């Protein structure tokens, strides 16, 4: 394996409060302040959210999905259309996952071996094989700033032997991803790319430790905690996150894959996580549910039909500054597109403000009280 260093964007931890961290990640497309929640644009768009609006409300990094884009419209097509930034209309940093989670969610039809995973497309049933090398090639064509190693993500409840096998395979695939990335010059079609290794191991501390040790030896510029939020109990998720984060290098960004509820974000920040993503805020918005300081608010409930109150009194989002709960409920019940847009806007603004407040509290050494206050409000 090549001993060459992987491309890395400068990252500084500016303050620590307990295990919680506030930092800055300097990319060619702008500075990202951490902790940072990253909205998910699975198929090349954050549903119902124009890119200019995402920028206006504070998005720092947005995500796209390698699995879906590689199949539709195809990574080569995205590259021919100017690369993912042009394709998505977004001039800030983008992160693409490797497609591993989506591939392994097709466990009933996927065939795993040491080379990779063979599966059938959810779109047309065509047969495909994803290997570490193909995951790197697809992400290189897409041209995101942050890219992920191809890993094996076992489901919650998998046997210890299955999780141990996934850890071994994930490390071997990470080495192949690293080599392929270096051979390609560490860059995609649209500039340098920072490659993250992904820690697996389920809720088994010894397997998590082994996974961290194997990946750290490969010297990735960033590390993700994978294989959680896939069905295990929240307490076990948090204990494993805390244990794993403490093992990771202090000078590298830490990314928890797949958490996006307000309480979960604060719990992850408390345990030393810098980056996180989830489809939850926009998904529940399309179901008529809004995040508020007091908890989730379901606009389908009849009690909101004639309410003149905003979703939240002090929220600067488009929904709260222009519409009543009663009007928003009507839009939701009638499946008006505007209603879905407004609730998506609100939920993302809510999370961005929550995380911005957490960062400010870390810088001022009062994260614990900030978290307790937010938790008390939601009870």
The pLDDT of residue 379 = 77
**What are the angstrom distances between the C-alpha of 171 and each of 67, 92, 118, 198?**
20, 30, 19, 9
* 267 tagged catalytic: no
**pLDDT at residue 135 tops 90:** yes
Q: Give, for 13, the enclosing helix (H) or strand (E).
A: strand 11-17
Which helix (H) or strand (E) segment is 192 a member of? strand 191-192
Question: What integer pLDDT is reported at residue 3 of this predicted model?
Answer: 67
196-208 mean pLDDT: 97
DSSP state of 5: P
Q: Given this model, what pLDDT does residue 48 score?
A: 96
In a 13 Å sphere around the CA of 153, the CA atoms on its Cβ side amount to 24
Residue 239 DSSP one-character state:
H
Confidence of residue 109 (pLDDT cuts 50, 70, 90): confident
- CA 205 vs. chain centroid, Å, equals 23
pLDDT higher than 80, residue 188: yes
Catalytic residue among 97, 145, 151, 274: 97
Confidence at 2, pLDDT banded by 50, 70, 90: low
H/E stretch holding 298 reads strand 295-298
- Cα angle: 2, vertex 273, 271; to 5 degrees: 125
Phi, psi of 39 (to 5 degrees): -65, 150
Given this model, what pLDDT does residue 32 score? 98
Structural domains of the chain sorted by starting position, each given as residue range(s) with its CATH number in brackets? 11-278 (3.20.20.105), 285-377 (no CATH)
**Can 97 be counted among the known catalytic residues?**
yes
The catalytic position among 17, 151, 274, 277 is 277
So what's the pLDDT on residue 101? 73
**Alpha helix (H) residue ranges in 252-324:** 262-270, 280-285, 318-322
Q: In this model, does residue 73 exceed pLDDT 80?
A: yes
Tens digits of residue pLDDT in 305-344? 999 999 999 999 999 999 999 999 999 999 999 999 999 9
């Amino acid at each position: 394996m090549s001993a060459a260093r992987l491309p890395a964007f400068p990252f500084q931890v500016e303050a620590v409060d307990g295990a919680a961290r506030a930092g800055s990640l300097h990319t060619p497309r702008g500075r990202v302040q951490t902790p940072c929640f990253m909205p998910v644009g699975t198929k090349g768009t954050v549903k119902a959210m124009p890119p200019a609006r995402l920028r206006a409300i504070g998005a720092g990094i947005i995500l796209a999905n390698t699995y879906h884009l590689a199949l539709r419209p195809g990574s080569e097509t995205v590259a021919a259309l100017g690369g993912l930034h042009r394709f998505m209309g977004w001039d800030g940093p983008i992160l693409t996952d490797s497609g591993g989670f989506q591939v392994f969610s097709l466990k009933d039809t996927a065939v795993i071996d040491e080379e990779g995973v063979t599966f059938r497309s959810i779109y047309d049933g065509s047969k495909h094989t994803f290997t570490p090398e193909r995951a790197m090639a697809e992400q290189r064509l897409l041209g995101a700033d942050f890219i992920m190693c191809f890993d094996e993500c076992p489901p919650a409840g998998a046997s210890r032997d299955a999780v141990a096998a996934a850890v071994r395979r994930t490390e071997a695939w990470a080495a192949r991803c690293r080599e392929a990335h270096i051979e390609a010059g560490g860059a995609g079609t649209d500039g340098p790319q920072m490659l993250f290794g992904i820690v697996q191991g389920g809720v088994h501390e010894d397997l998590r430790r082994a996974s961290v040790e194997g990946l750290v030896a490969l010297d990735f510029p960033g590390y993700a905690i994978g294989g959680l939020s896939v069905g295990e109990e929240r307490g076990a998720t948090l204990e494993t996150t805390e244990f794993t984060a403490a093992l990771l290098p202090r000078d590298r960004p830490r990314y928890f894959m797949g958490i996006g509820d307000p309480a979960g974000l604060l719990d992850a920040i408390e345990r030393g996580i810098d980056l996180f993503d989830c489809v939850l805020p926009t998904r529940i918005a399309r179901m008529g549910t809004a995040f508020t300081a007091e908890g989730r608010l379901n606009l389908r409930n009849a009690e909101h039909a004639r309410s003149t109150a905003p979703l939240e009194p002090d929220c600067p989002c488009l929904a709260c500054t222009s519409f009543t709960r009663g009007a928003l409920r009507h839009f939701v019940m009638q499946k008006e597109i505007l209603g879905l847009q407004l609730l998506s806007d609100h939920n993302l603004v809510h999370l961005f403000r929550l995380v911005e407040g957490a960062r400010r509290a870390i810088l001022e050494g009062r994260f614990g009280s900030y978290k307790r206050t937010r938790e008390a409000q939601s009870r």
